[in-house]
Amino acid sequence: MLEQAHIEYFFRHYIDEADRDDWRFAPQHTPDLEGVAPAWFGGRVRPAGGRWRGLRG
């Protein structure tokens, strides 16, 4: 799992800060996803101080 500092490092080398709200980089920023290819985002989450678990529990 990447920590925040590593994510920021990669973002700085991948895309300009001014472009990070562009829906093509961050689709969650668009008000309308009609016509965009379907996608699934998922993974594992760990509550602070907790055990790793799947998104369903």
Tokens of 51: 């055990």
pLDDT, tens digit (0-9, with 9 covering 90-100), for 38-52: 877 666 655 666 665
- Residue 49 has what pLDDT? 63
Residue ranges per domain, the chain?
1-27
Q: Which residue has the tokens 């369903």?
A: 56
How much is the pTM? Answer: 0.43
Helical segments of 1-57, H only: 4-14
Q: Which two tokens stand for residue 17?
A: 């800060």
- Tokens 């590593």 -> residue: 6
